[in-house]
């Protein structure tokens, strides 16, 4: 059991049978009245962010989460198959648990968050940015670098993103896995 004094970013709590990660928190001590803690919590299963205020000193159910490194091997009808890079144990994870699954390719490393007591998988997170090759896009026209216009492009994982007009098929681009946004062209 933890109290509101123990709240920190990244902490996982059990509230009403749901698991939430603390994104932000602020201890408030008003001039009049009791102190309280204002928090922003992200639901582990749905990803929805809620605001919640706790009175100072109340008890919270802290959930012990372990972060484990896994490498993506392949996808089959059971789901996405991963191997623990430390123990070489293989597991299968459903696609809806993996954040940024559209940008996952064989050999990629992810961080899997596991409930320590029940060994259930809560989430699997790709790195914040990945480099992927463009497999198809309309060809760029000389001089298309002046505007900030975007065009559709398909990457090697099959996901469709929006890229600037000067990007062509066969080029590598850096992509934000959380939003699916183009960041920059990668040379070499």
Domain boundaries, given as residue ranges, for the chain: 2-62, 65-125, 129-186
65-125: CATH topology: OB fold (Dihydrolipoamide Acetyltransferase, E2P) (2.40.50)
Is domain 2-62 given the CATH code 2.30.30.30 in the classification? Answer: yes
- Mean pLDDT within 59-83: 92
* pLDDT tens-place string over residues 101-150: 899 999 999 999 898 888 888 888 899 999 999 999 988 666 656 567 88
Query: What is the pTM for the complete model shown?
Result: 0.76
Domains 2-62 and 65-125 share a fold: no
Closest CA to 71 of 88, 84, 54: 84
Q: Read off the pLDDT of residues 124-138 as tens digits, 9 standing for 90 and up.
A: 889 999 999 999 998
């Amino acid at each position: 059991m933890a109290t509101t004094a123990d709240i920190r970013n990244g902490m996982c709590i059990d509230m009403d049978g749901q698991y939430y990660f603390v994104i932000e928190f602020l201890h408030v001590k008003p001039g009049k009245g009791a102190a309280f803690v204002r928090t922003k919590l992200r639901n582990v299963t749905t990803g929805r962010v809620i605001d919640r205020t706790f009175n100072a000193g109340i008890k919270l159910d802290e959930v012990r989460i372990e972060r484990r490194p896994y490498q993506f091997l392949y996808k089959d009808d059971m789901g996405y198959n991963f191997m623990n890079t430390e123990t070489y144990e293989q597991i299968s994870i459903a696609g809806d648990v993996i954040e940024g699954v559209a940008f996952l390719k064989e050999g990629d490393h992810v961080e899997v968050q596991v409930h320590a007591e029940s060994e259930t998988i809560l989430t699997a997170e790709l790195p914040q940015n990945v480099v992927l090759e463009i497999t198809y896009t309309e060809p760029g026209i000389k001089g298309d670098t002046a505007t900030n216009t975007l065009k559709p492009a398909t990457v090697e994982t099959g996901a469709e993103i929006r890229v600037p007009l000067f990007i062509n098929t066969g080029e590598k681009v850096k992509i934000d896995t959380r939003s699916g946004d183009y960041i920059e062209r990668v040379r070499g």
